[in-house]
Amino acid sequence: MSDSPRLETATFAAGCFWGVEESFRTLPGVVRTEVGYAGGTLANPSYKDVCNGRTGHAEVVQLDFDPTVISYDVLLAHFFEMHDPTQVDRQGPDYGDQYRTAVFYHSEEQRQAAAERIAMLNASGRFPRPIATKLESAEQYWSAEEYHQKYLLKRGLGSCHI
* Tally of residues, the chain: 162
In the chain, at which residue ranges do the beta strands (DSSP E only) sit? 8-14, 30-38, 58-65, 90-91, 94-95, 101-105, 134-137, 141-143
CA 99 – CA 58 distance, rounded (Å): 6
The active-site residue, picked from 16, 50, 102, 121, is 16
Rounded to 10 deg, the angle between the 108-124 and 72-82 helix axes is 50
Strand 134-137, strand 101-105: pairing:
parallel
> What's the gap between Cα 90 and its chain centre?
14
Q: Give yes or no: 160 in active site.
A: no
In 17-72, at which residue ranges do the beta strands (DSSP E only) sit? 30-38, 58-65
**Alpha carbon distances (Å) from 51 to 96, 116, 161:** 8, 31, 18
Q: Which residues are known catalytic residues?
A: 16
